[in-house]
């Protein structure tokens, strides 16, 4: 259990994270499991019962979701309750909330007559969510680019899987996947708030995990990339095109200081209003309303996403290349670096105020083997030099170039 | 000046000599400092009377355009100055307001001074206005590719045809052509005067120091007072109740809407916020996923986990909206119509459910206090001067009679409209 005592919040946030190596055709199973876990258990057999229970916990928030870190697939179940004792008759809320969480995680009633109906309904919800990803042009472009970027088919999969796989899943397959999740996955329970640690330990000790002396323990690894590929895909009725470019980070980015260099580079290059992509491409050239880059250290990638007028593609590409060349050449003012570092530190501190972020990141940092505190983070950012950023920019290699454009 | 204390938190409200409304909210133990300056000028205001009592037309998209241009200073982008001060800044335009805000973890005085200065001291040129059109045209296209935006904008167009509410907040390529630097100056002078502005500061800071700072900065940047005169809004009757948009979506998506009788313009701020909170609670009692009605429709596959609903109560606009994805739109439409018809009777026997939901509402508002953004960017605080703490106090006084009265406002009849996006 990872417990972070914090007195300033009005809530207690509890997150249970299941981690497993990504495997082909697993995404659909885990996504559907996360949907089932959200709406049904022996004690709370349907959506209505779950909703009523959460209302009685002073409008508590319960969510499940699937995500990835590096080569790991994650399934998280999160509960947010108000700080016990803050409102009348709320003193037992922690014990009640943990008991509810236990029920939703462990006790899906596979044997009940109701289970087939619940599975059918959640298959429909998940299928709609999968199809919904195709209606969001940026999500669609990122999903397509993901397939091009990675060598391993398990990592290429969209996080929700495919509608065909979801529809084909049987009760027996789901039950087996659930049993495997409980027995084999690495499990991290993170709690953020102001509660007595012994109360947490007492409640969590009552959770009966299947005995497995060989339970997995993971460190997220950077997945292997495929060779460079370029693809153009059309989608009817679009007004704007979307460009996704993935850049592979050089070996140096794997080190602690390499991470900070990547962070500062990304902020200077494409994250935020002071970045080169925003100021030069959007503001000076009115070329794209949305253009930014994102550092994904768990994938050793920097991803550029732009929404733009398809007729301006050549100009956009020219300007993009020019911004990268600017950084490689070291044509950056000292003030740009100072501002980028300040923005990174500001963003880091602001995130520390969010209990939801804290709760999720406790597990994520453990899985990535990161153990730096606030002081180390700030020192690391401040230590980055212009020369390091130049060297870093020179090691970037484009690995994916995907365009989604208007067409038939 | 009023000071309200809740657990760990403290709220102070005051008004500067020039008329600026200020709310300070203390969040002990937080790194984040949030400053937000809002004007009660959004996309719904489409004309005003100038000093000579001449009507000045405001083209669609002007409030949003002005938001963009206020960042564009003679010395460069105002955002860059925030970045130099270690802050992250942004802005957004809504139907009734435009809000500019920063989040920082230090240099509160410098960031606050810059926020007050850049919003109240404009610099517009024709060249800058011309360049901005290209950026905003791209922004409009971005929204047009979003089915959720098409759905929302489409249902408002059905409920309130040709009204300001039915128009895109960003305007159109054509309406942007009518915006000039002179017009922006004229509009800024009227709608960005301190009396029309609301400043909110949230974080762990000294009230007195910030109070003094705001007073001092305002003496340097505040615009002079002038009267704000707005022509009456005339709304057309609704004539079309069903519309299909051929959009290549993967699953049919529909929005349903019910236009309700307009609420009196004389409602006090507290009454309007109370009505909105009660309306949301009433809708939860009738359509919430804790109801047997929803569970049955969910099991039948008519509604999925995406089913959503909203209640809107604005001075000229008063309506309900529902959002449903899926293949069973005819059944969904019938289910909503039938439920609206029985709603009043359901409410009459909903005492126990009301008590539960009220308790949940109190908990959710308490949880919302974790977020400085939720506190500082709260629309009810900006438009009506009521903070989250005021709203908690209001909800504790609600009873079932209030809910029944709310039901009368929401479920008195009317024809349900539908906008559907389908292949």
Q: Closest CB to B301: pick one of A82, A124, A237.
A: A124
Here the tokens at position B69 are: 């241009």
Are residues A238 and B145, on separate chains, in Cβ contact within 8 Å? yes
CB A241 within 8 A of CB A309: yes
* Å between B414 CA and nearest CA of chain A: 29
What value does the mean pLDDT take over residues B49-76? 94
CATH class of segment(s) A229-406: alpha beta
Mean pLDDT of A16-27: 96
* CA-to-CA dists, residue A25 to B122, B223, B240, angstroms: 57, 63, 47
Q: What is the pLDDT of residue B4?
A: 44
| In contact, B229 and B54? CB cutoff 8 Å | no
Q: In terms of C-beta density within 10 A (0-12 exposed, 13-18 middle, 19 or more buried), how is residue A284 classed?
A: exposed
Instruction: For A227-251, write each residue's pLDDT tens digit.
Output: 999 999 999 889 899 999 999 999 8
Q: Which residue has the tokens 């009692």?
A: B285
Rounded to the nearest 10 degrees, how much is the dihedral formed by the CA atoms of B133, B137, B139, B145? Answer: 180
Model confidence at B109, pLDDT cuts 50, 70, 90, reads very high
User: Could you tell me the two tokens for B213?
Assistant: 């700072």
CB B47 within 8 A of CB B198: no
Q: Percent of chain B scored above 90 by pLDDT?
A: 87
Domains present along chain B, CATH in parentheses = 2-221 (3.30.830.10), 242-422 (3.30.830.10)
Sign for the CA dihedral angle at A36, A38, A43, A47 comes to negative
CB contact under 8 A, B362 and A136: no
Closest CB to A9 among B134, B363, B370: B370
What is each CA distance from B83 to A170, A327, B30, in whole angstroms?
A: 53, 19, 20
Q: Does B248 touch chain A (CB under 8 A)?
A: yes
What mean pLDDT value characterizes chain A? 94
Fold match, A2-205 / A229-406: yes
- The CATH number given to A2-205 is 3.30.830.10
For position A408, what pLDDT does the model report?
66
* pLDDT class of B17 with cuts at 50, 70, 90: very high
Q: Is B147 on the interface with A (CB under 8 A)?
A: yes
Q: How far is A313 from chain B (nearest CA, A)?
A: 14
Residue B143 has what pLDDT?
86
Each residue of B26-47: b (16+ CB within 10 Å) or e?
A: bbeebbbbbbbbbbbbbbbbbe
Inter-chain residue contact A11 with B144, CB threshold 8 Å: no
pLDDT reading at B58 higher than 60: yes
Both tokens of A101, joined, read 């969480």
Q: C-alpha distances in angstroms, B346 versus A155, B282, B338?
A: 50, 10, 12
Cα separation values, A364 from A69, A70, A356, Å: 8, 10, 13
For residue A137, list chain B residues with Cβ-Cβ distance below 8 A.
145
User: Which residue shows structure tokens 């509810």?
Assistant: A100
Q: What pLDDT is stored for residue B25 in this prediction?
A: 96
Q: Is B295 on the interface with A (CB under 8 A)?
A: yes
In this structure, the strands spanning A397-406 and A229-235 are parallel
Task: Determine how many CB atoms are found less than 10 A away from the CB of residue B312.
Answer: 17
Return the half-sphere exposure (C-beta side, CA atoms, 13 A cut-off) of residue A164. 1
Residue of chain A whose alpha carbon sits nearest to that of B86: A342
Mean pLDDT score of chain B: 94
**Distance (Å, rounded) from C-alpha B186 to C-alpha A136?**
39
**For residues B55 and B63, what is the distance between their CA atoms, to the nearest angstrom?**
17
Residue with structure tokens 């059944």?
B331
pLDDT at A199 over 60: yes
**Residue B210, Cβ neighbours under 10 Å: how many?**
21
Q: Residue A11's closest CA among A364, A363, A346, A357?
A: A357
Q: Do B83 and A339 make contact, defined as CB atoms within 8 angstroms?
A: yes
Structure tokens at A30: 């885990």
Closest CA to A162 of A21, A31, A18: A31
Over residues B51-77, mean pLDDT? 94
The closest of A346, A83, A358 to B203, measured between CA atoms, is A346
Query: Which band of pLDDT confidence, cut at 50, 70 and 90, is reported for residue B1?
Result: very low
Tell if the CB–CB gap between A54 and B360 is shorter than 8 Å: yes
Is the Cβ of B347 closer than 8 Å to some Cβ of chain A? Answer: no
B67 confidence band (pLDDT: 50, 70, 90): very high
Strands in B33-39's sheet, in edge-to-edge order, are B2-6, B9-15, B21-26, B197-203, B33-39, B98-104, B88-93
Contact yes or no for B88 and A237 at CB 8 A? no
CB contact under 8 A, A349 and B31: yes
Report the candidate in B4, B2, B130, B25 with the shortest Cα–Cα distance to residue B72.
B130
| Partner-chain residue, chosen from B32, B84, B289, that has the shortest CB–CB distance to A339 | B84
Cβ contact A47–B298 (<8 Å) = yes
Q: What is the average pLDDT across B96-113?
A: 97
pLDDT in the model for residue A286: 83
Residue B94 near chain A (CB below 8 Å): no
| Chain B residues with CB-CB distance to A136 below 8 A | 146
Helix, strand, or coil (residue A405)? strand
pLDDT of residue A353: 93
Return the domain boundaries, chain A.
Answer: 2-205, 229-406
CB contacts < 8 A (A, B): 191
Contacting residues of B for A117, CB less than 8 Å apart: 299
A288-295, long-range: CB < 8 A, 24+ apart:
A288/A316, A288/B138, A289/B135, A289/B136, A289/B138, A289/B139, A289/B141, A289/B142, A290/B142, A293/A266, A293/A269, A294/A266, A294/A270, A295/A262, A295/A263, A295/A266, A295/A271
- Look up residue A150 and give its DSSP letter: B
CB contact under 8 A, A350 and B31: yes
Q: What pLDDT score was predicted for residue B2?
A: 46
pLDDT at A407: 86
Interface confidence, given as ipTM, is 0.91
Angle at CA of residue A32, ends A27 and A36, nearest 5° = 150
Predicted local distance difference test score (pLDDT) of residue B5? 42
> In angstroms, what separates the C-alpha of A146 from chain B's closest C-alpha?
20
Rg (CA), chain A: 23
pLDDT at residue B33 greater than cutoff 60: yes
Query: Does residue B363 surpass a pLDDT of 50?
Result: yes
Out of A8, A87, A350, whose CB is closest to B363?
Answer: A87
């Amino acid at each position: 259990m990872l417990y972070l005592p914090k007195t300033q919040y009005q809530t207690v946030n509890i997150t249970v994270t299941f981690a497993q190596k990504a495997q082909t055709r697993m995404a659909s199973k885990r996504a559907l499991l996360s949907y089932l876990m959200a709406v049904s258990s022996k004690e709370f057999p349907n959506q209505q019962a779950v909703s009523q229970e959460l209302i009685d916990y002073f409008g508590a928030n319960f969510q499940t979701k699937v995500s990835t870190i590096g080569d790991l697939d994650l399934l998280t179940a999160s509960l947010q309750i108000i700080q016990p004792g803050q409102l009348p008759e709320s003193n037992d809320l922690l014990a009640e909330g943990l008991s509810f969480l236990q029920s939703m995680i462990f006790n899906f009633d596979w044997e009940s007559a109701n289970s087939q109906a619940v599975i059918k309904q959640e298959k429909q919800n998940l299928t709609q969510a999968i199809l919904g990803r195709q209606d969001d042009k940026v999500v669609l472009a990122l999903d397509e680019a993901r397939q091009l970027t990675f060598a391993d088919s398990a990592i290429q999969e969209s996080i929700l899987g495919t509608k065909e796989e979801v529809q084909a899943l049987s009760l027996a397959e789901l039950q087996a996947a659930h049993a495997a999740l409980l027995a084999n996955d690495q499990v991290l329970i993170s709690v953020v708030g102001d509660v007595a640690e012994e109360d947490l330990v007492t409640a969590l000790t009552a959770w009966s995990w299947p005995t497995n002396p060989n339970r997995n323990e993971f460190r997220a690894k950077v997945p292997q990339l495929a060779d460079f590929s370029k693809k153009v895909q059309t989608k009817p009725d679009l007004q704007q095109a979307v460009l996704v470019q993935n850049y592979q980070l050089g070996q140096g980015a794997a080190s602690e200081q390499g991470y900070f260099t990547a962070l500062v580079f990304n902020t200077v290059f494409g994250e935020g209003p002071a970045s080169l992509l925003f100021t030069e491409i959007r503001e000076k050239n009115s070329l794209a309303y949305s253009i930014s880059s994102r550092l994904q250290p768990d994938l050793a990638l920097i991803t550029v996403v732009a929404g733009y007028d398809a007729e301006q593609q050549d100009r956009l590409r020219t300007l993009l290349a020019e911004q990268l060349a600017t950084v490689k050449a070291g044509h950056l003012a000292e003030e740009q670096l100072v501002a980028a570092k300040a923005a990174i530190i500001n963003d880091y501190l602001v995130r520390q105020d969010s209990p939801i972020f804290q709760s999720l990141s406790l597990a994520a940092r453990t899985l990535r083997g990161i153990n730096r505190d606030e002081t180390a983070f700030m020192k690391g950012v401040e230590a980055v030099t212009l020369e390091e950023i130049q060297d870093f920019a020179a090691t970037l290699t484009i690995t994916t170039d995907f365009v989604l454009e208007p067409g038939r | 000046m009023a000071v309200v204390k809740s657990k760990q938190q403290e709220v102070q409200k005051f008004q500067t000599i020039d008329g600026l409304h200020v709310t300070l909210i203390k969040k002990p133990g937080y790194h984040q400092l949030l400053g937000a300056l809002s004007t009660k000028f959004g996309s719904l205001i489409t004309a005003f009377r100038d000093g000579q009592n001449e009507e000045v037309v405001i083209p669609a998209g002007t409030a949003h355009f002005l938001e963009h241009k206020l960042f564009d200073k003679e010395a460069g982008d105002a955002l860059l100055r925030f970045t130099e001060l270690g802050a992250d800044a942004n802005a957004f335009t809504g139907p009734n307001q435009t809000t500019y805000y920063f989040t920082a973890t230090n240099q509160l005085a410098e960031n606050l001074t810059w926020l007050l200065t850049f919003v109240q001291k404009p610099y517009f040129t024709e060249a800058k206005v011309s360049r901005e059109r290209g950026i905003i045209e791209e922004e409009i296209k971005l929204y047009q590719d979003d089915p959720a935006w098409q759905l929302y904008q489409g249902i408002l167009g059905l409920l309130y045809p040709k009204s300001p509410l039915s128009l895109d907040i960003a305007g159109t390529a054509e309406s942007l052509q009518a915006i000039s630097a002179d017009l922006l100056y004229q509009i800024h002078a009227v709608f960005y005067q301190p009396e029309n502005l609301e400043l909110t500061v949230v974080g762990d800071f000294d009230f007195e120091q910030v109070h003094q700072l705001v007073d001092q900065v305002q003496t340097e940047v505040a615009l002079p007072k002038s009267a704000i005169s707005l022509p009456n809004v005339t709304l057309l009757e609704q004539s079309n109740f069903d519309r299909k948009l051929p959009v290549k979506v993967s699953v049919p998506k529909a929005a349903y809407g019910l236009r309700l009788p307009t609420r009196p313009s004389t409602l006090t701020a507290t009454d309007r916020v109370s009505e909105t909170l009660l309306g949301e609670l009433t809708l939860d009692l009738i359509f919430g996923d804790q109801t047997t009605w929803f569970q049955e429709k969910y099991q039948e596959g008519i509604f999925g986990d995406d089913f959503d609903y909203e209640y809107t109560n604005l001075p000229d606009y008063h309506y309900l909206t529902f959002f449903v994805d899926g293949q069973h739109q005819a059944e969904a439409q019938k289910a909503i119509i039938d439920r609206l018809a029985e709603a009043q009777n359901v409410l009459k026997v909903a005492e126990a459910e009301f008590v539960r939901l009220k308790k949940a509402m109190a908990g959710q508002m308490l949880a919302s206090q974790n977020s400085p953004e939720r506190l500082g960017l709260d629309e009810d605080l900006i438009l009506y001067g009521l903070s989250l703490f005021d709203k908690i106090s209001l909800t504790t006084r609600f009873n079932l009679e209030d809910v029944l009265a709310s039901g009368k406002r929401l479920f008195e009849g009317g024809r349900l409209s539908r906008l559907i996006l389908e292949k």
